[in-house]
Each structure stands twice: as structure tokens, then as C-alpha cells.
Amino acid sequence: MMRTGYKTLGLWGAVALFLLSGCTSDGDGPEPVDNIIEFDVPSVVLGEPEELSRAQRLDVLPAGEVFGVSGYCVPLSGGEDPKPDYNAAGAYWTAKNRNSIADVMWNQPIKFDGTKCVYRDAEGTTYYHPAHWYISAGSTHADPADFRYTFIAWHPYDGDYFTPAEKGAVGTPQIGFTMPFNPGDNGELDPTKVKDAMVAQTVDRLRNVDNIGTVPLRFRHILCGLRFQINNFNTSQEVIVHSLALSGSFYRSATISFAGTSPVVVVKGDETIGGGDEGEGAEEPEIDDTPGIDEDDMYSGTFRFLSEDDSSDDVTVVPNSGIIAGATPGSDGHSDGVAVLLLPHFEGETDRSYLGRSKRIHIKYTFEGKEGDKTIDFTLNRRPVAGTLYTVNLNFVGNQLMVTFTDDANNSWSWDEVETGDNTIK
């Protein structure tokens, strides 16, 4: 279970708070439509402007997708008997988040139907009753029009990925994130299994801004993508690739904190797993069991992009051309292809293992009628940016196999250790 440092409001306190809030229970009367909290069409941030990065997989939230939301407004007072502090409801988020509770909504599923966000799905099935803005402040003289609301959101709405804090938890909101793989060695890993994961946060929202009552949500990616392109720079010989795979140990879990005005992702293992990727021929390391390192925070295995067990997966790259692994047939090799989504290490020093440890590329091919089999140890050699799709270029140049990298902004770079190694392919 995720340890968040929250304290949980008792049953009667939670019931009292619910009755005092602007939310309604299963009442018999009609919903006051003008008081319902509505969400604007969600947007997806495509990276920081200077990064010029493009979101991997989801550039927009597709119609039919469901995301989760928790909402905060009235904090609790301190002391042994905390109560809703309406006089502090107008405070800015950074001043009141430590005493916050999801009083507006908790773990609320919201569906985007393609044009608007709804509390109900297309068949009319009710997820929960809509949440409401506050219209009263109890026995205080506080003005609900001055109340400031904060909303946090996550996608996908899937308990296998995101775990919100318990209902009634008091304190700065945090949610847990887990990749959909078991800890330890998983053997074969399906690169298409991982859903794109995003979070959003809107802080200090007044009920009406310029007479527009909908709440905006701008989702940010927390994963980055890795795909492979095979380039044949020879003028007369074709290259046939029989299998292509990526193996290693990868980050599995993170905690997202909403203490400030934008989400902060802390990848578990950041503070304790260090050192660069091992050189070629190094022994496969075990996950360290020193205090502070949890094996549950890593998973290992092999992502297979082209299978050697299926000859129909063979890719033929004609001279002076390139093909992205898994590209749609007929796309001239220029579709996104098959990419694996990984949880990147955000804040480490430059010699850290940004995307995991012991990452190795395995490729089997035929060139000039001779079969070859190469294993290449590599590191991205650059801090990864969430939402960015990185392309690993496997370049057949003469009798050499060279590795270079390209990001969404068409920036290219190489890894010196690959270029100076034994790259002969025949």
C-alpha cells in the first residue's frame, strides 16, 4: 500500500463533511443544473515549448475515454477535532493543501464523449451524482463566491495504473502510479500493453471565471516512448532483420504529488539506484537489496518488436531506405510503428540510468547473404522528457552497425560507446 503520510477522517467526520459540502446525495429533487461542476474539453500538453516534444500515443483524449478526478475546496481546521474551515476556503492552494480533503469529489470518473465531459456514459449508466459548487458556508460569514477550488485528474481511470489516496484522507494529495507489469523478471513483455498515462491539475479555481463555469484540465504525460528504426545506408545490398528486442530492468512505480501548482512525479528508486548502464559483456546485475531499494519498484524482461519465431515478421530494408519496426504496411515505413512506453527517471545526474538498468538491444539480421546476431548495450545519454517519442536508429553503414538517437524535434545524437565499440556486421 502506498504510504502518503495522510491521516484519515473518521466515519462520522466524513459524513458530516459530506452533508456540509456542496455535493448532494441521492435526493429526490432535480439537480440544480446551474450549480453542477462541469469540465471543459480536456487538452493534452505536448511538452514544454523549448522541448518541442510531441505526445506519444495520445495527442488528444479520444472520445469515450474516462479519467478520474478528485476535487478540493474547504480545508479542515487543525486540532484533535477537525472541522470544515470555511473561512480558509478562499485561501490559495499552496497555503491550504496540507489540511485539504477531497470534499468536492473523490475518485470521480468523468467520461469525454468527444464534445463534452459527462458524469454518465452513453447508455445513461450513472457513475456517481454530479458534484456541485458550494452555495453556503455553514454558520460563517464567508462568501462561497470567493472559495478557491483545486482539481487533480489522471488517465487512464484504471486501478491497475493509478491509486488515489483513500477516501477521507487529509493532507497534500498524492496518487500512486504503477506500470502494468509484475515486479521482478517477467520474461517476455508486450510493448503494446502499456496505456498512455497522464495527470492534470487545476488550482485556485473560482466558481465563475469570465462567466465561464467549466473547469479546464490540461493533461501532461508521465511516460516517454521508445521505438526502433532500421536504416540501410548501403547502395546495393539489402538488409533483412529477423528479430529485434529490447531487454533490461525498468522503473515500475512512481508517486505524483500535487502540493504546488503543477504535478510533480517522483520515480521510486531515484535516490538509491545509481550508476550508468554497464558496458558490453558485463554480468547481469541483481536488483540491490540495500535498505531503501524495493524490488517492487522495478520490473525486468524483454520487449520484442520483431519475433524470430515468426518469419512473417521479417523486415527487408532495401538500399538507401529506412523502416520503423512495426510500421503499418503500406505506410512507407513512416508511421509511428510499435513503441514501448517507459517510466523515465526525471531528476538524476547525467550518469544515471534514465530509463532503467542493463538495457540491451538484440538484433538478428542477414546482410550480403550472411546471418548476423548482435547485442548492444546502450543508454539514452540524455535526460528523457515525458511525452517525447525517442527513435533508436540502427544504421547499417558499409560493414558497420551504428546506433544514433532522434527525438520528436528531429534532434539527433549518438552514444560514443556504441560508435567506438566493435560494430562490424560481417
The rounded distance, in Å, linking the Cα atoms of 303 and 246 is 5
Report pLDDT digits (tens) over 246-257. Answer: 999 999 999 999
Question: Are the CB atoms for 198 and 65 separated by under 8 Å?
Answer: no
Cβ atoms of residues 374 and 424 within 8 Å: no
Could you say which DSSP state residue 276 is in? P
pLDDT of residue 333: 46
- What percent of the chain has pLDDT above 90? 51
As a whole number of angstroms, the distance between CA 191 and CA 193 comes to 6
Measured distance CA(425)–CA(403) in Å, rounded = 13
What are the backbone dihedrals phi and psi of residue 312, each rounded to the nearest 5 degrees, phi first?
-70, -15
Residue 178, exposed/middle/buried by CB under 10 A (0-12, 13-18, 19+)? buried
Strand (E) positions, 18-168?
38-39, 43-44, 66-72, 105-112, 117-118, 149-155, 162-164
Q: Which residues contact 355 (CB under 8 A, 6 or more apart)?
A: 224, 226, 248, 250, 251, 342, 344, 345, 379, 380, 384
- The length of the chain is 426
| Greatest extent of the chain over all pairs of C-alpha atoms, in Å | 86
The three cell numbers of residue 69 are 478526478
Alpha-carbon 212 to chain mean position: 30
pLDDT for position 60: 73
Element (H, E) at 15: helix 11-20
Instruction: Give pLDDT < 50 ranges for the chain.
Output: 1-32, 48-57, 271-293, 331, 333-334, 349-351, 417-421
Give the tens place of pLDDT for each residue, 335-367.
568 899 999 976 554 445 788 888 999 999 999
Q: Which residues fall within 8 angstroms of residue 192, CB to CB, at 6 or more apart?
A: 338
Q: Give the number of other Cβ atoms within 10 Å of residue 259's Cβ.
A: 16
Q: What is the pLDDT of residue 112?
A: 92
Sign of CA dihedral 133, 129, 17, 139: positive
pLDDT at residue 34, rounded to an integer: 66
Q: How many other C-beta atoms are found inside a 10 Å radius of the C-beta of residue 103?
A: 27
Q: Which amino acid is at 235?
A: T
CA angle (49, 52, 56) in 5-degree steps:
120
Q: Whose grid coordinates read 510499435?
A: 338
Residues 253, 297: contact at Cβ < 8 Å? Answer: yes
- Distance between CA 287 and CA 240 in Å, rounded? 36
Amino acid identity of 8? T
> Which residues lie across from 169 on neighbouring strands?
8
Per-residue model confidence (pLDDT) at position 192 = 87
Write out the three cell numbers for 305.
518488436
**Residue listed under C-alpha cell 525498468:** 250
CB 248 within 8 A of CB 358: yes
Rounded-to-integer distance, Cα 410 and Cα 413, Å? 10
What is the model's pLDDT at position 210? 56
In this structure, the number of other CB atoms found within 10 A of the CB of residue 162 comes to 23
Q: Which residues pair with 366 in a beta bridge?
A: 240, 371
Tell me the domain boundaries of the chain: 7-221
Q: In DSSP terms, which residues pair with 267 in a beta bridge?
A: 254
How is residue 139 written as a grid cell? Answer: 454558520
